[in-house]
Structure formats: C-alpha cells, structure tokens
Chain A
Amino acid sequence: MERNDPRARSDAYGSRINRSHSPFLANVIPWASIMLASLLPIFAIAAALPMVPPLGFLMLVGWRLVRPGLLPIWAGFPLGLFDDLYSGQPFGFAILLWSVTMLVIEAIELRLPWRAFWQDWFTAGILTVSYLLLGWILSGASPSIPSLVALVPQLILSILLFPILARIVARLDELRLKRWKRV
C-alpha cells in the first residue's frame, strides 16, 4: 500500500494528531516579547543621538495590527508601566500613550475592518511619528529645534523597521500556537 505524505496530518503549527498547544506559551509570548523589546534599547551604547527605535512600542503596535483581538484593549497600561521603568521618558508617558494607541487602533479597526498590509504599515507609521514627536514634547526637557532635527534618523529607522517587526511577530505567533504538548 502506498504511504501517505508524513505531513498530511500536520499544519503550520505541527502535527494535529496526539499534540496540542501549550496554553502557557500561547498566553505569555505576546506579553513577554513586548516587554523584552522595551528592555532592549538600554543595552545600546550611550550614543549622542536617540538612534534606537522605540522597540517596545513598535512591538505592541505590531502584535495589535498583525494579530487583532489577541491583546486586550487595556494591555497598554501594564505594558506601558514596564516600558516607563526603562525608557528614560518621564514616568507615565508610555502608560498614557500606549493606552491611547490601543484605543486609536480599535477606532481605526471599526472604520476599516478589511485592511492590506500597506494600510497597517501606514497606520503604524503615523502612530510612530506621533509617538516620537510627543516624546520630544513631553520629555521633561524644554523642546528645542536641534533636538527635533536629531530625531529624524530615529523616525526613519522606526518606520522602516515596522515590516521586519511584523514578520517577527508573525513568526512568534507561529511559535505561540505550535503544538508542543503530547496529549
């Protein structure tokens, strides 16, 4: 008798027979990856310009846009609180802006339920630009023109980074729903 294709009973998340998802990973990966991304910029060298994109914020927007409905709408508060501990902005900045971001994306999703990736990228770009500009205004120091000019490389990097981060989020999502557990 002919043998079946060994992958016939599996999908992108692994074998469908005798395996099931790990509830722990499925719940933890989005939160842990955003927190890790908030932590990463402090490892960078103490350069004279703000060069590293706000990775935590981009990751949050990435998870929210790539996997709608996964993060609860109030997720901006706890994740922003963690980001505030490390970001160097005044405390409360990320709590406020991340919560507002979640609400804004929710409103956009109500208006435009069907979107292509470039629309998501556009949304993320607009949100990132406003986030960085508000960060410049609400940094606790008086805003000055030279520091605004110094913001430009970071702005461009952040916008260009979003598609890569969206890919990373998609891979993490695959990992999240992998069937690890033997039933």
Chain B
Amino acid sequence: MAPSGQRRSSYSKRAQYNLFTGYIFAGIGALLGAILLGLSFFQPTLFGGPRGMAQDAASPATETVAAARTGSKGLWDAISGYYRAGSKNADLRREMELARIRLKEAEAVRQENVRLKGLLDLQDKDRTPVTVARLIGSSSSSTRRFAYLGAGSDDGVAVGMPVRSPRGVVGRILETGGSSSRVLLLTDRESVLPVRRAGDEVVAFAEGRGDSLLRIKLINLGINPLQPGDMFVTSGAGGYYPPGIAVAIVTEITDDGGLARIVSDPAATDFVAIEPIFEPDAAQGATTPIEEELGD
C-alpha cells in the first residue's frame, strides 16, 4: 500500500499544527485510558452506571437474538430427537420406572424431614424467585466470564443475588442496570463459592479457573476423599446461596482437591431464576467479599 501523503509536513502552518495536535490528543487519550484503567482496578464498580445504561440500550437487540437462538436450538433438538428414537424411548422408560421408585423414597424422606424439623422448631420459608429472565448475552471476547441478563433493578434485581437455572447455580449478580444486569459466572477467575459434597459433609471452595472447569479446594486437608463423579452442592456458607443447589461434578483428582465440571452450563441455559440473597445478614457480616480469594 502506498503511504498516504497526509503525514508529510508542508509549509502550511495549519497542516503542521493539525498534525501536531493529533499526536497530542492521541497521547492524552492513552493517558486518560491508563488513569481510568487504574481507577477501575481499585473501584471495579465505579463505571457500573454507564455500563449498565449501555447494556440497557443494547438489550432489545440482544434479547431478540437470544430468543431466536434458543428457538433454533429447540428446533435442532426436535430434529435430532427422532434419531434413534426407539432405543432412547426404551431407555427412558426404564429410567422413569427407577425414578418413580426414588420419588416415593424421597417423599418418605421429605415427610421424615418435616417431622424432624417440626421437632426442632425450624421454619421453612418459601423461597420465591425475585424474577425469571433470559441470559441475553456474554462477554465472549474477554477473558472474564460475564453473562448479561434481561432483567435489572426495575425488576427488583440487586447486586449479590444468586442466579440459578433448573439444573443448578449459574452465578451471581455483579452489576445492575435498569432493565439488564451483569452476572459473574461460576467459571470466572474471581468467582469463589463455598460448596459441600452431596451426601456428606466434605466442605470445600469451588473456584473458577477461566477455562470452563472449577477447582475444588478442600478445607480440611489430609487424605483426599474425592472420587471422580462426586457431586458438589452449595453449602449455604457465606449467606449468598441457599444450601443444596447443584454446582459441579468432579472429573479429576488433584493434590488438594479436584477439578470439576459445572452442572449448569450457561451456554445451554435459556431462562434463569434470580433468587433473593439467602441470609442478607450473614452476607453483610462476612468481612471478606465472596469475590475475594480466601487463603491459598
């Protein structure tokens, strides 16, 4: 490509000054950027306002695209469902018979649970979600893992609320705009979640690694009791998430815990429920915010 002649300085003072001012502006721009970047490192929520407004402005378009995407995915599922329909049907029937038996057992357990809780004078509050909304977008080109949600502070969404899909935990609200909000996904590097193994009391932290896996860090070090296939659920510690929601399944064992795959992949999630913070007092009282790393 031939060089453009615009840079060649002429005898025209005006042209020379224009060129010079351009460089000055570019330098000032870079400097301002550096200052803003430094500010947002110390105060990550400082620019949440303009970002929220920008998200709100884009949300009609992103919402439409998200709806179309899930629609087309559903169509593809319907087509692929016909493939090997017979053998699948037989499998499903077998599975359903087993599930019916388990359901009866679970009912018995539930009754016993109610009885025991009655003995202990514990009260179960009915937890209704604040709102149900679609995941409408994501920060797909950044190394941070955020998703955008089609509901904001107008729908009662507040910072810190847990976001869950029918399968399990998706993340929690990080910033809210009027009609959209930003979700910190579990796989983000800043996400830490207190979990326990389903079925016993092995407690751990599930940290995002930024590459679709979670790192399970056991709190009690010693003989590593984990097995591939172990399911981890929220423990309720920290006060943000209610206990007993599915989080991840262990796929690999490491020295201090394991690597786990999330149960509720946000890519496969359509609608999510935003729930109120489980124990606001506990969440307030916790001196360490959940996004900060807890020990090493």
Residues of A within 8 A of B (CB): 39, 41-55, 65-66, 68-69, 72-74, 76-77, 80, 84-100, 102-103, 109-110, 113-115, 117, 120, 135-136, 138-142, 144, 146-147, 149-151, 154
Contact = CB atoms under 8 A, between A and B. Distances in A.
B220 interface: no
A147 B30 contact: no
B33 A46 contact: no
Interface in B98-141: 135, 137-141
Say which size band chain B's interface belongs to.
35 or more
Given A46-B185, A135-B143, A146-B213, A92 B37 contact: yes
A45 B4 CA distance: 41
Contacts of A90: 37, 40-41, 44
Interface of B: 1-7, 22-23, 25-30, 32-41, 44, 46-47, 50-51, 54-55, 58, 61-62, 65, 69, 135, 137-148, 185, 187-190, 209-213, 262, 265-267, 269, 293
B173 to A, nearest CB: 14
A46 B267 contact: yes
A74 B29 contact: yes
A70 to B, nearest CB: 8
Contact of A146 (B39, B145, B148, B210): B210
Given A50-B140, A77-B29, A141-B144, A147 B267 contact: no
Nearest to B212: A48
A85 B190 CA distance: 20
Contacts of A150: 143, 210-212
Contact of A49 (B44, B58, B211): B211
B189 A114 contact: no
A65 B4 CA distance: 11
Contacts of B51: 85, 91
A44 B138 contact: yes
B141 to A, nearest CB: 4
A73 B211 contact: no
A140 B41 contact: yes
Contacts of B138: 41-42, 44-47
